[in-house]
Structure 1
């Protein structure tokens, strides 16, 4: 997917209480710092390791950093679960597996304002990486993943939220 297509993608906007209030092009949402929704899917293997993605250098936020969860923005009119399934298939090629709902969280950093929906999945199959977004993956223990210095702050919060719920 080219950066022009990504910039024009229509995303679901929400208000500060997470109520839908329209849509905007992704580039407009970023420029204006609008509240929006995003999905976060923590992918584990049978050993409990987390699939950590190295972001490509062309990503619009945190290029070259690490994502501790798959996922992305929710499209205009799209519901959480279909968005999570779409993102998981686009980024890692994983499809047809049940996603476990893990709750929601709110993330604010600078002009980034997100309501995130958390999901998890255990997966042992082959991965097919989306070359525009994922440079490489590695499997790390949750502690190793959280110790990464350049982990995206929203995916760090997503993983921490899931781990806290399990204790």
Structure 2
């Protein structure tokens, strides 16, 4: 997906109580710091390591940093679970796996206002990276992932919530 297409993508906006209230382009949502929904999918292998993605240098926020979960914004009119499946396939090429729900959380920091839907999957197959968004991946233990200095703050919170939820 090109940068222009990503910027024009229509995002589901919500009010501060997570009620849908329209849509806006991704670029406008970022510019106005609008409340929106996002998905976070922690991908775990048989060793219990998680898939950590290095963001490309062209990402709109935190270029070159590390994502501790796959995922992204929920499109206008889209529900969270289908959005999580879409994002997991787009970013890592993973499909046909069970999404285990880990609940929801609120993230509000530095102009980013969102309701996150958390999932995790167990996966041991090949990955196919989305070149526009994912520069590289590595499999790390949870303590190693949380110790990364340049981990995106929203995915750090998502991973922390996944640990709190249990199933690890």
TM-score category by the smaller chain? Answer: over 0.9
Aligned residues: 167
Q: What corresponds to 1:41 in structure 2?
A: 41
Q: What corresponds to 1:123 in structure 2?
A: 123
Q: What corresponds to 1:71 in structure 2?
A: 71
Post-superposition offset of 1:165: 1.5
Q: Does 1:24 align with 2:24?
A: yes
Structure 2 unmatched ranges of 5 or more: none
Post-superposition offset of 1:28: 0.4
Post-superposition offset of 1:31: 0.2
Question: Where does structure 1 differ by over 4 angstroms across 4 or more consecutive aligned residues?
Answer: none
Structure 1 unmatched ranges of 5 or more: none
* Matches for 1:86-165 after TM superposition, within 5 Å: 86-165=86-165
CA-based RMSD of the aligned residues comes to: 0.7
Q: What corresponds to 2:3 in structure 1?
A: 3
Post-superposition offset of 1:67: 0.1
Counterpart CA distance in 1 for 2:131 and 2:110 is 28
Question: What SS class does the counterpart of residue 84 from structure 2 fall into?
Answer: helix
Question: What SS class does the counterpart of residue 146 from structure 2 fall into?
Answer: helix
Q: What corresponds to 2:57 in structure 1?
A: 57
Question: What SS class does the counterpart of residue 145 from structure 2 fall into?
Answer: helix
